[in-house]
Amino acid sequence: MEYTVKKLAQLAGVSARTLRYYDEIGLLKPERVNSSGYRIYGPKQVDLLQQILFYRELDVDLETIMQLVTDDSFDPVMALYEHRAHLLNKRARLDRIIATVERTIASKKGAETMSDKDKFDALKEKRIADNEKAFGEEIRQKYGDKTVDESNAKFRGLSKEQYDAMQAKEQEVFALLKEALATNDPTSETARKLAQAHKEWLQFSWTSYSKEAHAGVAKMYVDDERFAAYYNKVVPGGAVFLRDAILAYLQ
């Protein structure tokens, strides 16, 4: 089968504009352009579009998808197995959250009792999964699987009071970051309070604390753009200032 832009867009459930954009950036080129100037897509392009849409369903950005599908070692069949595994994990996380919502509804109606721990277990699992997806590879390379797994286990075991306290401490870090950055001095008293609050926040999930590990995390906040974006959203320049405040605090 061959498809025009319009027909392939209808088949795949995307817009024609999306297909044209994929063509423009070189992600999905048509098989050929016919004498009338229409883009024509064949079986190879259909399969590639399916791969692209699987990756997009998993929130992979277009730049990364381009790198993956154009790599000489790219194996479409292996990629499908990986898609399946990721999607099953995603479904399992959603199933746990749905089950928690349903149990909460039942408890509100008096049909069953639900502990405070039960109310937050699925949400904690989602946070762990989100962190693994965003930062897992870098963190595991830096600190090892054992350390990360133990940290995740400690986080899972937090009581409702501890979980709430951790969330409150993170908000305190954000507030202090804004306040300390205004001084433009990472050695100020407010900056020291910021670094101390950040240390306390880490200790909710860290099984052990060391100055070296704290410094390593602080440096990663700047070296990795994804970590930097997390704190720069709080306040522009926040990642660099937080790093400098922590390193000054640790001296």
**Which CATH number goes with the domain that contains 46?**
1.10.1660.10
Read off φ and ψ for residue 187, nearest 5 degrees.
-105, 5
In a domain, residue 222? The reply is: yes
Structural domain containing residue 242: 157-250
Structural domain tally of the chain? 2
pLDDT tens for the chain, residues 1 to 251: 899 999 999 999 999 999 999 999 999 999 999 999 999 999 999 999 999 999 988 878 899 899 999 988 999 899 888 888 888 877 877 787 787 778 778 877 877 776 666 666 666 777 777 777 767 777 777 777 888 888 888 887 888 788 889 999 999 999 999 999 999 999 999 999 999 999 999 999 898 899 999 999 999 889 888 788 889 999 999 999 999 999 999 99
CA distances from 154 to 34, 38, 148, 176 (A): 60, 58, 10, 26
In a domain, residue 136? The reply is: no
Of 28, 50, 70, the last residue of a domain is 70
46/231 Cα distance (integer angstroms)? 40
In a domain, residue 64? The reply is: yes
Of 20, 55, 70, the last residue of a domain is 70
Closest CA to 21 of 58, 49, 59, 50: 49
Q: Tokens 């259909």 — which residue?
A: 46
125/32 Cα distance (integer angstroms)? 47
In a domain, residue 208? The reply is: yes
Of 21, 42, 70, the last residue of a domain is 70
Closest CA to 197 of 177, 169, 232: 169
In a domain, residue 132? The reply is: no
